[in-house]
Amino acid sequence: MPNGLIVGCESVLVPYAPGHAGLLLAVAAFGMLAGDVTVGRIVPPRWRARLALPLLLLLAAPYLVFAAGRGCRSR
């Protein structure tokens, strides 16, 4: 999934958990920042190109929980 589509995935958080949407958005942003810093500081430059596709797929992995879970149900 292209990383630009993650914004669309984040829009699912508001109806999924209206009372905790802000927290979920903050945690998602913190996770992306932590991943960027970790890869930028720890992974050697020669490995980064090789890890690009797995890391891109990993970016969307947490949102699969919402797709596989209870989802959004209207009340």
What is the DSSP code string of 22-75? Answer: HHHHHHHHHHHHHHHHHHHHHS-HHHHHHHHHHHHHHHHGGGHHHHHSS-----
Say what the pLDDT of residue 74 is. 45
Q: Is the pLDDT of residue 5 over 60?
A: yes
Share of the chain above pLDDT 90, in %: 13
Predicted confidence (pLDDT) per residue in 40-62, tens digit:
999 999 998 899 888 888 877 77
pLDDT of the residue at 2: 57
